[in-house]
Amino acid sequence: MTNNSNNDYFKSEEFINNLRLYEDSQKAGGGCILSSDELADIAEYYFEKGAAQKARGVAEYAISLYPDATSPLVFLARFYINVKRDYKTAYKYISRITDTSALEYYTILIEYYLATGEYDKARQTFIKAEDNIDQEDSLYLILDTAYLLYDYGQTDEADKLKERIEDKESEDYLKMTARSLSERGDNDGAIEMLEKVIDKDPFNVDNWILISSLQLKYSDSATSAEYAIAIDDKQADAYMNLGNSFFKMCNYTKALDAYDKYSKLSDNELGDILRARCYFCMQDTAKAYQLLMVAKGKCTDNKNNLIDIYKDLAIVCGWSSKPETAFEYINLLKKEKYKDAELNLIEGSILLGMKKLEQANDVFTIGYELSTNKQEYLFQVAVSFYEHSYDKAAYLLFKEIFTRDPKRIRGLAYLAVTCNYLGFEDEFLKYLTIAVEKNPDEAKAVLGEMFPNSMQPYDYPEYARRTLGKK
């Protein structure tokens, strides 16, 4: 909820002294002489560290001392929009703001209207803000509003604001162009823009973290995250990106190590969720379940994280031969009014594990209708069939996917492995050869167990030919 630029302030002597003063006063049970803005900064700091309850507590303490103070009211409104998704309570805090000429007032009101889908009101609020805020804040209004528009999927409107930035070589313009390109699916273009930013300021840790999150080649993403850590080894997001990169490369031991470091720097449930996923992939469902229950106990505010915990618990319980418990979490998700194609994927996979193929197909079909990316949804269903040993069904789906999109590279290794299980030797060798050429990371992750541990993917086809007796 804060800007990356605040990271430098959070390291300053002034902020560290204010934080110490606040925490000492809390321990002593007394009052605190800090201003409302200083307390709002502390709330932002706690939120960035993942301590959502602490953050909300500081902001509520601030408005108990300063009922009309803008910054803590804005923080609480944004908290209820982004974390609790309680728009009614968020608006109550917005309506208490008395300084209606402040930039913060207009940006939180714009965010509220975007979150509630009232785009015309958001646009009108921006126009009104231009007439009422100080001229020196006009660039910040453009930047803040543009990023909000990107966040809420209004890319065309955001681009119009981006083009109002006069200095086309400025870091603000380049980073916003990168965001625009990323939103439009042009990751290569986005990375090119961020590389220009990094050339201007190579020791800016936030830019390395940002480029790491965009890089689709997992090894490149890991390298950028490692650069960020080399600059500042106290950046939680850098360890998360590093863990995510290793996780996608199926190196769960290294991913777990990175997530452990993330957890030590971030006081929230997300680290437990991520570590649980590693243990699940390492086939330690007991440890995964234990960590998810810890995460569930911590998660009192963030609905998005709570939904992820329920989804993961359903998956873990399904794989642990506890379908009744798995469906308890499916039902909790439905009570949370969570309804999308992913829930159908989870439910269908649990039914496959119970050998209820017809029911699973019905659930998958409903999910297909809900999905916004039909091709990716079919791929996930095919993977589920493969994981539950329905090899013929998986093979037919993978074939359909590659017939629809012959240039696709994700999933080639899965198609190869299903051909192998079905005894289709010629097709196995064909798709194995393409997989190691086009997507070696996936080939190693999916097919690695079939080959010697020390063998590199590019040697798989020749080894397979010898093993199968092919010339």
Residue 173 one-letter amino acid: Y
Q: In which residue are the tokens 């997989």 written?
A: 435
**pLDDT in the model for residue 85:** 87
**Mean pLDDT in order along the chain per 10 residues (471 residues):** 62 93 90 92 91 90 95 96 92 96 96 97 96 92 97 96 95 95 92 95 93 90 96 93 92 95 88 96 95 91 87 95 94 84 94 95 94 92 96 96 92 96 95 94 89 92 83 42
The rounded distance, in Å, linking the Cα atoms of 336 and 292 is 18
Tell me, letter by letter, the H, E, C secondary structure of 12-59: CHHHHHHHHHHHHHHHHCCCCCCCHHHHHHHHHHHHHCCCHHHHHHHH
Q: What is the largest CA-CA distance in the chain?
A: 82
Which 3 state secondary structure label does DSSP give 319? Answer: helix
Q: How far is CA 129 from CA 95, 158, 199, 347, in A?
A: 16, 16, 35, 47
**pLDDT in the model for residue 154:** 96
Whether 22 contacts 39, CB under 8 Å: yes
Whether 10 contacts 48, CB under 8 Å: yes
Q: How many CA atoms lie within 13 A of 93 on its CB side?
A: 27
CB count within 10 Å of CB 14 equals 10
